[in-house]
Amino acid sequence: MTDDWATFGADLHIDPTGSTGLRAGLMDALREAVRTGRLTPGTRLPSSRTLAADLGIARNTVADAYAELVAEGWLTARQGSGTRVARRADPRPPAAAAPPRAKPPRGAPAYSLKSGTPDLATFPRAEWLKAARRALSAAPNDAFGYGDPRGRIELRTVLAEYLARARGVYADPDRIIVCSGFVHALMLLGKVLRRRRVREVAVESYCLGIHTRLLTEAGLRIPCLPVDEHGTRTGELHALRHAGAVLLTPAHQFPTGVPLHPDRRAAAVDWARATGGLILEDDYDGEFRYDRQPVGALQGLDPERVVYLGTASKSLAPGLRLGWMVVPRALAAEIAEAKGASDWAPGALDQLTLAEFMASGAYDRHVRSMRLRYRNRRDQLVAALAERAPHIRVSGIAAGLHAVLELPEGGEAEVIRAAAWQGLAVEGLAFYRHPDADLKREALVIGYGTPTDSAWTGALEALLRVLA
């Protein structure tokens, strides 16, 4: 007897139970599957030969059961189309006490200017598909295995070249760890820092709450450093006696939008060297600088004291779940071990596609195109505010995908409420404020990179109505 039956046909889970015979039991099981909706109208069933082999019964038994169910109207059978569940079969009975279908909430925003997301409609689908095809064709067999916890060597090699060229990062493939975005990287770092008996990680007084929560969930305290017009006041790190690391956004402080002053960059590195601490550099939108050359990565000042973190979330799309760390040599094996244990990483084919996309020059072309698009939006925002809301001061606009609109005291909550009435979702600076922050500014954080081109004009007009 051969086992050819295992290689043909579609699978169907069915249990022809009952005491009335195999044919009757099979018919009852099929009727029940259709009646309850497990087999939906139009579903193609296995051939009688396949199902008979799967169930270990005679083919004639299945064929007869199919024929009777066709006659009863449960199934249809056409030449070339096979046997399918009839579209006029009895509908699934409604669930008991089913709640009424939920309606969308009233006043759901028509537009969003929340920060943190690029224009997703501009994802380069055609170029990405070309890169994916080339990557899949050239993929070695080992790409379909579990692989190196550091990530595919092809991507790490391309990243080392790109980061050195575009961001001034000192890197080689052996010290790059590919991860599933910034959150994944921060989870790994939190775990490693706790193993190293670090008690505190200093953070900026304005930052993302999800990042601080990840650190506290790792068992780390998070004292904050004040932020002013020159960036984070890193000179105050020396007063934090138990801090073993600091999380910074030096190229474009998030969300206030100011770059870290050169003296403060040097002060952060001096602190790390003097104390053995680590700087965690979040370079979340370093490619998008408009008025002059991009500010180079802080990592270039001391690659052995800085962990550089970047992602494709702003330059391409957050849904790719692709990020990377460039780590000091002394940490590389430890972080790779922590990552290997979690086994949470982007797929090998996605990594190979990004490697091909970058190596072909498509990534550089896309970034340049988006840089021009976002700069035009920024300029439109600034010009429109100058014309229709000249009392609003705009800051943090030299780079990135968002701007900060300064408001008078007590104005932030009022403007957010007014925006909601206009169908516009916005966030205030208070959303990003550390609980221990001393300076409490009133401002809006406007993500002008978020809307699609078709929604941008409406979103801008709604904002102007609120502020004017």
Structural domain that includes position 443: 111-118+365-467
Across the chain, what does the average pLDDT equal? 90
Q: Same domain for 25 and 170?
A: no
Whole-number Å distance between alpha carbons of 301 and 372: 29
Inside any domain, residue 339 = yes
Residue 40, number of CB atoms within 10 A of its CB: 12
Same domain, 442 and 294: no
Reported in sequence order, the residue ranges of 338-458 that DSSP labels E, i.e. its strands, are 393-395, 403-406, 424-425, 427-428, 443-446
Helix, strand or coil, per DSSP, at residue 180: coil
Residue 144 inside a domain? The answer is yes
* Matching residue, tokens 């960036």: 231
290, 334: one domain: yes
The tens digit of pLDDT for each residue in 237-283 reads 999 999 999 999 999 999 999 999 999 999 999 999 999 999 999 99
In a domain, 3, yes or no: no
Largest CA distance in the chain: 87
Parallel, antiparallel, or unpaired: how do β-strands 82-85 and 75-78 relate?
A: antiparallel
Enter the pTM of the model: 0.84
Q: Is the pLDDT at 42 greater than 80, yes or no?
A: yes
Q: Are residues 187 and 302 in the same domain?
A: yes
90 within a domain of the structure (yes/no): no
Residue 322's pLDDT band (cuts 50, 70, 90):
very high
Task: Select the more confidently predicted residue: 325 or 54.
Answer: 325
CATH number of the domain bearing residue 45: 1.10.10.10
Whether the CB-CB separation of 358 and 159 falls below 8 Å is answered with: yes
Note whether residue 106 is domain-resident.
Answer: no
409-436 pLDDT, tens digit each: 888 999 999 999 999 999 999 999 999 8
* pLDDT tens per residue, range 115-167: 999 999 999 999 999 999 999 999 999 999 988 999 999 999 999 999 999 99
Same domain, 170 and 299: yes
Q: What is the CATH number of the domain that holds 346?
A: 3.40.640.10
Q: 1 pLDDT exceeds 50?
A: no
pLDDT per residue over 56-93, tens digit each?
889 999 999 998 998 888 999 887 778 999 986 444 44
Q: How many helices and strands, by DSSP H and E, does the chain display?
A: 13, 17
pLDDT at position 19, please?
Answer: 54
Same domain assignment for residues 319 and 173: yes
| Spatial contact of 298 and 281, defined as CB atoms under 8 Å apart | yes
In the chain, the number of structural domains is: 3
pLDDT tens per residue, range 89-121 = 444 444 444 444 444 445 578 999 999 999 999
Is 228 inside a domain boundary? yes
Q: Can you give the CATH number for the domain in which 457 is found? A: 3.90.1150.10
DSSP code of residue 409? T
The whole-angstrom separation of Cα 224 and Cα 204 is 5
> What average pLDDT does range 218-235 have in this prediction?
95
The pLDDT of 399-411, averaged and rounded, is: 92
